[in-house]
Structures are given as C-alpha cells and as structure tokens.
Amino acid sequence: MLAISIVAAITGLLLVVSVGLLSLRKRFGNRDLRLIGESARVETTLKPDGTVIVAGELWSARSNNGLFISSQHRVRVVAIDNLSLVVEVCD
C-alpha cells in the first residue's frame, strides 16, 4: 500500500512539473518573438523596470539604457529577456 502511495505521489509531482514547464514554453513561444520591433505604450513608469501594453497585453518591461521612461510614452520593443521586454523610446 505504501509503495502505491509513493508511486502516486511521484507521478503527481512529475505531472505538475511537466505542466509548469509546458506553460513556460507556451508563454515564450514564436508568437512572443514577433513582438520585437512592435510599438508599445508605457503603462507604469519604467524606473528602469515597469510595465507596457503591447499588442493588447500587459508585459513587464525595462528600458534598454536604464533611464526612466514616463507612463503613456510610446516605446519600441528591442529584445525579450526571459519573460520581460526590453524597450527604447520611439523617435
């Protein structure tokens, strides 16, 4: 009986870890790479970290040069670092 409980616990743990890894892969897929070059609007001031709205979605972001960028400014996505966008001010 104990062996069955241990196997069930290990199986459940592996299932949870697998689902978590798959969700990360889905979140950072090819669609997200298409955001590079897109225009975005700063939602919360980047100091240098904050949030932006791009393609109708709220994303964590940081300025590429470490400077503050006020909310409502237009920025362009220049890179993706983990699950955060790197942005620069649009000219």
State pLDDT tens for residues 55-76. Answer: 899 999 999 999 999 999 999 9
Cα–Cα distance for residue pair 40/35, rounded to 1 Å: 9
Q: Please state which of the four CATH numbers 3.30.540.10, 1.10.357.10, 2.40.50.140, 3.40.718.10 is assigned to the domain occupying 2-89.
A: 2.40.50.140
SS3 25: helix
DSSP run (H or E) holding 23: helix 2-27
Cα–Cα distance for residue pair 77/12, rounded to 1 Å: 39
Q: Which residues of the chain have pLDDT under 50?
A: 25-26
Cα–Cα distance for residue pair 77/52, rounded to 1 Å: 10
pLDDT at 30: 56
Amino acid at 21: L
